[in-house]
Structure 1
């Protein structure tokens, strides 16, 4: 799946805007780089942490707190 498609899916799944998604991806990527376990069967050695974080959000595996849902 292309990155644009994954981003669109993440926006729909999370129900937030693209700026909030960017913040959420950055926070999750930082967690992954600091040793958090991936919720997908992908390795950080072969996948960028930001791509992995975006995929986790798109699949609904990561709960995003602190943002208001889009109307």
Structure 2
């Protein structure tokens, strides 16, 4: 699977987690990036010196590790 196809697959799975609402997904990614910037550890294997924070957040959401309740609790 090439990089673009993998990215599209991850994004599609993340959208499923937020009822296909791109606005909710964007807000959830933003909330999670803020948490990681403040020192929260990624919930997936990641190298913070290489991986982009939004990519980490997107993967966590796609994997069902981060839910929409984060928006209400952290923004």
TM-score relative to the length of structure 2 = 0.78
Deviating 4+ runs (over 2 angstroms): 13-16
Gaps (5+ residues) in structure 2? none
Aligned length: 67
Tell me the equivalent position of 1:36.
40
Gaps (5+ residues) in structure 1? none
- Note the C-alpha offset of 1:59: 0.1
Structure with greater helix share of residues: 2
Pairwise CA RMSD of aligned residues? 1.8
User: Is the Cα contact below 8 Å between 1:14 and 1:58 reproduced in 2?
Assistant: no
User: Is the Cα contact below 8 Å between 1:6 and 1:55 reproduced in 2?
Assistant: yes
Describe the SS at the equivalent of 2:50: coil
Tell me the equivalent position of 1:20.
24
Q: What's the CA shift string for 1:13-42, capped at 9, x where partnerless?
A: 332401110010011011111110110011
